[in-house]
Structure 1
Amino acid sequence: MGQAFRCYQVDQSNVAIKEHFGKFSDVLEPGCHCLPWCLGYQIAGGLSLRVQQLDVRCETKTKDNVFVTVVASVQYRAVADKASDAFYRLTNTREQIQSYVFDVIRASVPKLELDSVFEQKNDIAKSVEEELEKAMSTYGYEIVQTLIVDIEPDVNVKRAMNEINAAARLRLAANEKAEAEKILQIKKAEGEAESKYLSGLGIARQRQAIVDGLRDSVLAFSENVPGTSAKDVMDMVLVTHTLTP
């Protein structure tokens, strides 16, 4: 009796497809299963329920005639309740997903200019995911997530973009340098004006002090020498200043 049965182990996160004389019979869940092979039961194969990832590189052209390579990352898995569809209806799941990704990207990107492709990559990813979900659900697969992970312009275009960005950075640096020099010149002029103002103020105060001292001297001389007026003293000062070599 023991030779009439075979034990088959199904690992965690997997299912096995059971057939009876070549016809689908049941989906076996994780665990140990005994199959009466002598009665025509056998395991046709296994199916993983784990999330799988497929990176698809698709070359296409934008509306402004720039060739780009769009890299889409698709995460998908087989649905346990539809394991028979996932096992029997598709020969190559990855090729099927890749074909749908190509169709959507090559239909979406040519409508957009290069800058818009970068700006709307999330919208493109959403379109890809919706189309995949609609198509792959009939085959027993669920699309977990779809991302546009990279957009690579043609090498020559990328080089031109780098040169444009470099030129823009140089212009910005030159403008900032000119603005800094302008500020320095303004500050320098303000400093010179302030210096001249303070210098003039000092000279004015010096002359005022001389005048005040001369006035005090004239008044003191007039008081100490009877009969002399302030005018007499000033005349004497002028004569002395004139005769002094």
Structure 2
Amino acid sequence: MSIYSIPYIVLGVLLFISFVFTVKQQTAAVIERFGKFQSIRHSGFQLKIPLIDRIAGRLSLKIQQLDVIVETKTLDDVFVRLKVSVQYRVLSEKVYDAFYKLDYPHDQITSYVFDVVRAEVPKMKLDDVFVKKDDIALAVKAELNDAMLDYGFDIIKTLVTDIDPDPQVKEAMNRINAADREKTAAQYEGDAARILIVEKAKAEAESKRLQGQGIADQRREIARGLEESVLVLNKVGINSQEASALIVVTQHYDTLQSIGQHTNSNLILMPNSPQAGSNMLNEMLASFTASNQIGEAMKEAKEKKNKE
């Protein structure tokens, strides 16, 4: 190979390189010849005439996403920012329209999103915007499909991905939410406290009932014991009044004995003198005697009145 052949080799390589080209998967290449549309080439190994044909541009056929942030006002005069995500793709059979009919498809899509959102949101209150965000997304998608299909674009899906009210409104909403939760918590606490009071009252009532029943049973047994004691004393010649007085005095001394068994007791039984027992017995006998006399007198007076 002579040195003079090298330029021809280089020129041949350059011509070959300008003669062939490749197109990636999910991509379309637009070929122009002398500035006029010639053809659309899809993925794979492709040929073109050097210096005559040129690649005017390449379009991706993949699904793309455009995020549009729109600020508008709701029906209840609250300013809110919405983030609308538009997923779209170029139709493979309409690459020509997508390449030649629109210079800036992003700007066109953004304009339609603004138009639809600012037409729909002012009809709703702020709470309805959160609830009906899917309706807003469907309205945007319907409008974009009708408008962009003629330009070779297919709208796959639209999503309202963020709703951001004015900071002061957000703070007020948070305060309202917190107040509602505190109100609910207070209601639950009040119900719990009321239940505790009712249950406590029921427990105290049951305790008092059982305590009263216990006292009644205790007094019934005491009365039965006293009755038996009086009967035993009657058998040895002691009448009922004397027997009752004797039992009371006996219980008095039993009580003194019980108190004496507890060294740390602070209870003082009055009267507590040595002659207290005999005094008590005498007083009781005298009271019984007086009571009998009064009863007899009243009985006689009643009989005399009945006779008259």
Q: Is TM-score (shorter-chain normalized) higher than 0.5?
A: yes
Aligned to 1:120: 132
Aligned to 2:190: 178
Q: Conserved in 1, the CA contact under 8 Å of 2:230 and 2:243? A: no
CA distance in 2, matches of 1:127, 1:233: 110
CA distance in 2, matches of 1:233, 1:43: 140
CA distance in 2, matches of 1:181, 1:122: 44
Aligned to 1:85: 97
Unaligned stretches of 5+ residues in structure 1: none
Query: What is the percentage of aligned positions where both structures have the same residue?
Result: 47
CA distance in 1, matches of 2:239, 2:69: 108
Q: Conserved in 1, the CA contact under 8 Å of 2:233 and 2:243? A: no
Greater share of strand residues, 1 or 2?
Answer: 1
Q: Look up the SS of the partner of 2:57 in the other structure.
A: strand
Q: Look up the SS of the partner of 2:148 in the other structure.
A: helix
CA distance in 2, matches of 1:158, 1:18: 54
CA displacement 1:97-147 (0-9 Å, x = unmatched): 000000000000111111111111110100001101111111101111101
AA partner of residue 210 (structure 2): L
Q: Look up the SS of the partner of 1:50 in the other structure.
A: coil
1:63 Cα deviation (Å)? 0.9
Aligned to 1:42: 54
- TM-score, length-scaled by structure 1: 0.90
CA distance in 1, matches of 2:35, 2:192: 84
CA distance in 1, matches of 2:66, 2:155: 11
- TM-score, length-scaled by structure 2: 0.72
CA distance in 1, matches of 2:240, 2:36: 139
Q: Look up the SS of the partner of 2:30 in the other structure.
A: strand
Aligned to 2:213: 201
CA distance in 2, matches of 1:76, 1:44: 22
1:95 Cα deviation (Å)? 0.8
AA partner of residue 238 (structure 1): S
Aligned length: 238
Q: Look up the SS of the partner of 2:75 in the other structure.
A: coil
AA partner of residue 109 (structure 2): I
1:220 Cα deviation (Å)? 4.7
Q: Look up the SS of the partner of 1:37 in the other structure.
A: coil
Q: Look up the SS of the partner of 2:77 in the other structure.
A: coil
CA displacement 1:166-206 (0-9 Å, x = unmatched): 22222222222222221221122112111111111111111
1:73 Cα deviation (Å)? 0.7
Bigger RCO of structures 1 and 2 (CA < 8 A, at least 6 apart): 1
Unaligned stretches of 5+ residues in structure 2: 1-11, 249-279, 284-308
Q: Does 1:152 align with 2:164?
A: yes
Larger radius of gyration: 2
Aligned to 1:6: 19
1:244 Cα deviation (Å)? 7.6
CA distance in 2, matches of 1:144, 1:220: 110
Q: Look up the SS of the partner of 1:160 in the other structure.
A: helix
